[in-house]
């Protein structure tokens, strides 16, 4: 799995193993890639291993990189004295390579696999519940730090963006204690700019979005009219009573999904759904905070 070589004509910066960035960071191997950047394992002059994120060149990519840099500078700055700051990836350095607009590079602490890749290493699509609780506790701590101290909303929490923070080992084995960090602030934004969000800008088909909303309703119940009809595009997807473009819905509530699909015991399903549902309240002002989630008995 690698980036499309044709994209090097449209912004990816060519990098070779052995290259030295900024007269300090020698490239050892590629760690990964995404739409906006490639990421490289490098060794600096002191022998420390770091991850260097090389963003695409071009005005639009430069602006995206500058936005991410601003957020990382803040979350890694003076406010990072907060104990939960260690649950978020730290910015170590920054520089630019020669290019039309300058190729922005972010030097980040080196972390391990993301959760999705780590699951695949052990041939199991799921993780043991004690590990899940450890991971969720640490992710919630990181989110509490971002939300309350940094006033930053990540907007893209998923297994791919949760990275393991493990001591170096000579072989792959399941650790007894798991440490993780939230990574990739590329989609993040300041709280003051995130008062109103919409999925419509990312979806081109009204029918597809209506189907997506129908899945939410089947899981969480009917969307209250004051929420359903309050958006700029509400009339495209809702009439006064029902969701447009979609036939009869088949409710399958979260508790039942846990029991019937994932074979949870009844008590476990009740406790876990009680943990999750307050995060998913249709009214944003009623949703629990990360700090409140940390107090839930399920953890």
Tell me the C-alpha distance between 174 and 236, whole Å: 49
User: How far is it between the farthest Cα atoms of the chain?
Assistant: 65
Q: Is 53 annotated as a binding residue?
A: yes
Displacement of CA 57 from its chain's centroid (Å): 23
Token pair belonging to 23: 């007269």
Give CA separation, 262 vs 100, 256, 259, in Å: 52, 9, 6
Quick check: helix, strand or coil at residue 160?
helix
Tell me the C-alpha distance between 22 and 249, whole Å: 57
Backbone dihedral region for residue 47 (phi beyond 0: left; psi -120 to 50: alpha; all else: beta): left
- Pairing mode, if any, of strands 49-55 and 37-43? antiparallel
Any idea what the Cα angle at residue 22 is, between residues 21 and 28, rounded to 5°?
20
H or E segment to which residue 235 belongs? helix 234-237
Give CA separation, 204 vs 114, 201, 211, 234, 238, in Å: 30, 7, 13, 15, 17
DSSP state of 29: E
Residues annotated catalytic, as ranges:
156
> Residues annotated in the binding site for ATP, as ranges?
53
């Amino acid at each position: 799995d690698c980036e499309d070589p044709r994209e090097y004509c449209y912004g990816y910066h060519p990098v070779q193993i052995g290259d030295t960035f900024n007269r300090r960071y020698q490239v050892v191997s590629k760690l990964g890639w995404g739409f906006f950047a490639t990421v490289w394992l490098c060794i600096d002059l002191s022998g420390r291993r770091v991850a260097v994120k090389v963003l695409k060149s071009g005005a639009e990519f430069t602006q995206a990189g500058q936005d991410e840099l601003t957020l990382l500078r803040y979350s890694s700055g003076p406010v990072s004295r907060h104990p939960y700051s260690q649950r978020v990836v730290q910015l170590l350095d920054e520089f630019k390579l020669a290019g039309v607009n300058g190729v922005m590079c972010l030097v980040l602490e080196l972390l391990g696999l993301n959760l999705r890749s780590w699951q695949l290493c052990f041939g199991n699509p799921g993780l043991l519940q004690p590990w899940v609780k450890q991971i969720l506790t640490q992710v919630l701590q990181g989110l509490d730090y971002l939300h309350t101290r940094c006033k930053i909303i990540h907007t893209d929490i998923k297994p791919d963006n949760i990275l393991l923070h493990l001591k170096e080992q000579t072989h792959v084995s399941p650790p007894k204690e798991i440490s993780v960090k939230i990574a990739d602030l590329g989609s993040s934004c300041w709280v003051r700019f995130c008062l109103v969000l919409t999925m419509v800008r990312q979806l081109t088909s009204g029918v597809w979005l209506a189907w997506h909303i129908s899945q939410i309703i089947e899981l969480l119940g009917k969307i209250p009219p004051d929420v359903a009809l309050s958006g700029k595009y509400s009339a495209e997807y809702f009439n006064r009573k029902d969701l447009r473009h979609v036939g009869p819905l088949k409710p399958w509530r979260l508790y039942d999904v846990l029991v019937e699909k994932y074979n949870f015991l009844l008590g476990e399903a009740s406790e876990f759904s009680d943990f999750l549902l307050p995060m998913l309240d249709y009214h944003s002002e009623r949703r629990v905070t990360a700090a409140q989630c940390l107090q839930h008995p399920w953890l």
